[in-house]
């Protein structure tokens, strides 16, 4: 329990004050996926109304994730991305990041679709490209003003932590535009401890 609490980023001080020792302080742990999928761990991400849920097997490197970004008013002109920086560069996390991107679907049916992008530089428009991690089950949903990106990635075996980053912005003529440069945007990155919190 202590571990789970340490994992969660505390958002509301008042929430902490009103919770007792046996209560989770993270919001993500209270979330139920519409498809009832269950993940081993989750984390309320800082600087953004975003949540990462994951199940990880170090022995195989298989990482099942669901990245949720809430507060999306208009999914027809919004992009959302979650990415790993394989260089473990937290300072310049964006160049080289291997991203899962959600953008408005052009076809009827789904509201948004997902694709992959290996981000070559800060000048990217998140053009579709292959990423360095094998992946499967990439899927994007939009529900209750929330975009969720689901995927299974295969990391190098025995990976225990990684640099990840997340972001959203506007789409114009089907092309993702540069995200805001507010400090909240620029700081939407961190080291993620997949297996256990830092000691």
Ligand X SMILES: *[C@@H]1O[C@H](CO)[C@@H](O)[C@H](O)[C@H]1NC(C)=O
Length of the chain as a residue count: 199
Q: Measured from the CB atom, is 28 or 103 closer to ligand X?
A: 103
Q: Which residue is nearest to ligand X (CB)?
A: 130
CB atoms within 10 A of CB 73: 7
CA angle 144/146/150 to nearest 5° reads 125
Shortest approach of ligand X to residue 75 CB, angstroms? 23
Q: Measured from the CB atom, is 120 or 130 closer to ligand X?
A: 130
Q: Measured from the CB atom, is 94 or 117 closer to ligand X?
A: 117
Q: Measured from the CB atom, is 87 or 130 closer to ligand X?
A: 130
Burial 115-142 (b: 16+ CB within 10 A, else e): bbbbbeeeebebeeeebebebeebbbbb
Q: Which long-range contacts (CB under 8 A, 24 or more apart) does 34-40 make?
A: 34/141, 34/143, 37/66, 37/150, 39/64, 39/65, 39/66
Shortest approach of ligand X to residue 120 CB, angstroms? 12
Contacts to ligand X by CB under 6 A: 128-130
Q: Give 195's contacts (C-beta < 8 A, 6+ positions apart).
A: 56, 58, 160, 161
Q: Measured from the CB atom, is 123 or 199 closer to ligand X?
A: 123
Q: Which two tokens stand for residue 134?
A: 């094998």
Shortest approach of ligand X to residue 132 CB, angstroms? 11
Shortest approach of ligand X to residue 129 CB, angstroms? 5
């Amino acid at each position: 329990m202590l571990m789970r609490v340490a994992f969660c980023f505390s958002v509301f001080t008042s929430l902490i004050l009103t919770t007792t020792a046996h209560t989770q302080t993270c919001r993500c742990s209270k979330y139920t996926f519409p498809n009832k999928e269950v993940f081993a761990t989750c984390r309320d991400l800082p600087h953004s109304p975003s949540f990462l849920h994951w199940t990880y097997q170090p022995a195989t490197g298989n990482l099942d994730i669901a990245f949720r970004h809430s507060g999306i008013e208009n999914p027809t002109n919004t992009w959302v991305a979650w990415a790993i920086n394989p260089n473990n560069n937290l300072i310049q996390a964006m160049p080289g990041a291997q991203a899962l991107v959600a953008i408005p679907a052009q076809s009827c049916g789904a509201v948004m679709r997902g694709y992959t992008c290996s981000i070559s530089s800060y000048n990217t428009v998140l053009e579709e490209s292959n990423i360095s991690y094998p992946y499967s089950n990439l899927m994007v949903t939009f529900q209750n003003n929330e975009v969720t990106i689901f995927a299974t990635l295969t990391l190098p075996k025995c990976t225990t932590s990684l640099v990840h980053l997340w972001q959203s912005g506007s789409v114009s003529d089907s092309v993702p535009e540069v995200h805001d440069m507010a400090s909240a945007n620029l700081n939407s990155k961190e080291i993620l401890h997949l297996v256990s919190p830092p000691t």
